[in-house]
Amino acid sequence: MSNSAAEKLLKAYGIVRPEDIDLEAIAWGLGAKVKYRPLKCCEARICGHGDRAIISIDNGKLPQRRRFSLGHEIGHWIYHRGQLLICRSEEIGGFAGFRRGPVSPEGVADQFASDLILPSYILTPILKDYRTLNLKAVKEIATTFKASMTATAIKLVQSNRFHAMLVCHGTLGREWFLRPPCVPDRWFPQDDLDRESYAFEALFGSKVEQSHPRKIGADAWFDRAEAKNYEIFEHTFPLPNDKILTLLTFTDENMMDERDTSRSFRRGR
């Protein structure tokens, strides 16, 4: 990931600090002019002719969101020139990529935006200051990179440096989850939220961010028999459209063992 197209582009401009990532200047350098205006049918779009393009971004959205949309459209300009793409809200921002796979145009544009706004070569040295992942860390890094909480949380979990996982729920159940390679794949979150979880309360009740991570039995999130032996931390924050995103962090090393050690222990007795 360190040599992605987005990062090569940033390096070509000599960018080494988060505050120097000027997306409009990068778009301009690629022949694309950026306009912010009200858009009814979509959140962003690009209209290209030859080697010139106009990127339109809905000015009614939050600044971090507009920034991600701009990165996403620059990705389309690089990878999908000549195709007509109208990018609706649900197609920008990390969700489409998980649903449709990393090779779909929306997934490619999202990954490009993520690498452009939160480039690993600038982010990795900063992450050395963080031993554990929590929403406070996500918020600090999001502010530094002018990125959304969601885009930042996804990037940090993807970094594979933390024993953590992201799970997104809507009122109809789980929408997607992101588990890094360092977390064993037997930890597959349940479809529906457990009524005991704080996330359940956030989704169907308060709709507010939890003030701090809370400890909860792992069996509220995972239906494996061994889950009842463990506790994890959950920390939920609301997303637009009545969705919530929960950061689960694992502090019990036994959960991170590739094998289900509780089972081998029982068999051994």
Contact set with Zn ion (CB under 5 A): 87, 106, 109
- The nearest distance, CB 49 to Zn ion, in angstroms, is 18
Residue 250 to residue 162: CA distance in whole angstroms: 9
- Farthest CA pair distance, the chain: 72
Indicate the residue among 80 and 243 with the shorter CB distance to Zn ion: 80
Question: To the nearest whole angstrom, how small is the minimum distance from the Cβ of residue 180 to Zn ion?
Answer: 25
Q: How far is the CB of 87 from Zn ion (least distance, A)?
A: 3
Nearer to Zn ion by Cβ, of 60 and 173: the residue is 60
Between 148 and 210, whose beta carbon lies closer to Zn ion? Answer: 148
Residue 104 DSSP label: S
Q: Calculate Rg over the CA atoms of the chain.
A: 20
Shortest distance (Å) from residue 104 CB to Zn ion:
10
| Residue whose CB is less far from Zn ion, 64 or 210 | 64
Distance CA 59, CA 65 (A): 10
> Which strands make up the sheet holding 86-87, listed edge to edge?
32-37, 52-58, 44-49, 86-87
Of the two residues 58 and 106, which places its CB atom closer to Zn ion in the complex? Answer: 106
- The least CB distance from residue 136 to Zn ion, in Å, is 31
CB of 102 to Zn ion, least distance (A): 14
Residues 2, 121 contacting (CB under 8 angstroms): yes
**What's the angle, vertex CA 28, arms to CA 22 and CA 33, rounded to 5?**
110
Closest residue to bound Zn ion by CB: 87
109/167 with CB nearer Zn ion: 109
Minimal distance, residue 95 CB to Zn ion, in Å: 12
- Nearest to Zn ion of 106, 234 (CB atom): 106
For CA atoms 195, 198, 202, 203, the dihedral sign is: negative
For the beta sheet containing 214-217, the strands, ordered from the edge strand earlier in sequence to the opposite edge, are: 173-178, 164-170, 243-249, 231-239, 214-217
Q: Which residues contact 119 (CB under 8 A, 6 or more apart)?
A: 4, 6, 7, 10, 21
Reading the block at residue 56, the tokens are 């339109």
Nearer to Zn ion, 9 or 87 (CB): 87
CB of 88 to Zn ion, least distance (A): 8
The encoded tokens of residue 189 equal 């979150």
3-state DSSP assignment of residue 196: coil
Contact 158, 178 (CB under 8 A): yes
